[in-house]
Amino acid sequence: MNTDIPLPAHTWPTLEPGWVWLCGAGPGDPGLLTLHAVNALRQADVVIYDALVQEQILSWAPQAEHIYAGKRGGKPSAKQRDISLRLVDLARAGKRVLRLKGGDPFVFGRGGEEAQTLVQHGIPIRIIPGISAGIGGLAYAGIPVTHRDVNQSVTFVTGHDQSGNTPSSLDWTSISKGSQVIVIYMGMKHIAQISQQLIKAGRSLNEPVAVVTTATTDQQQVLETTLGTIVNDIADAGLEPPAIICVGQSVLMRQVLDWQNMAAGQPPRNLDPLGRGRPAESA
């Protein structure tokens, strides 16, 4: 066990040989790991990690073998079946296995598939949730996914399905009409089609949209745009995945909640971006 990273007093679970812990590594910033994740890193014999897991996080498990199993759209990637069965083989070899996945393992992370495979093969598991980029990544950009003056619902969708295409099973008309705020994971590749579907379903061309790339890291970039101009604006800005996309009026709140730029000395752009004409505490 690596004891270089001390943990506060608590009855921490033990990662036993032959077990697999499926753990969320958060959206990027190593400080957003849970203490259960740090405890897992201290004990693992093998860490199988995704593309978005930061190198600093892996350095917290120097005693472990590190195996890359990232899947990135349009790039050579390990097959999901091979990843899942590799976990089975390592556990059967008596290893303490940590499957480290970006964000939360059960939010568009294929964690459910891997966990089910393990259970079907008789491998004991533990699930460690993580902060999803659709919440934490937007928060770092100063965008609340829920705000009482804006929305009473938020819908999380993926921008592509198992085939790599825009999910045909999504009813964009119902999503558009039923949710004031829409958060799209892995949507950059198909943003032209997605934006057209939302406009066709009745969303305004002028609806605010934010694109947050490499969220919570030092390379984070934020584009504030609209549904009607997003395709050209992404191209002009030269943005690349990974990205989280937020559609809805809550994007306007970044004008007053861009805490990173304010910490750097910039004043808020607009203290009342929703035009409510009253102090926030009177809401």
Q: Which are the catalytic amino acids?
A: 50, 71, 186
The distance from CA 82 to its chain's CA centroid, rounded to whole angstroms, is: 23
CA separation for the pair 180, 11 (Å, rounded): 42
CA separation for the pair 145, 155 (Å, rounded): 10
- Which residue shows structure tokens 């997605």? 194
Looking at the DSSP bridge assignments, the partners of residue 212 are 222, 244
CA separation for the pair 31, 136 (Å, rounded): 12
Q: What's the Cα-to-Cα distance from 161 to each of 145, 146, 164, rounded to whole Å?
A: 23, 26, 5
Q: How far separated are the first and last CA of the chain, in Å rounded? A: 51
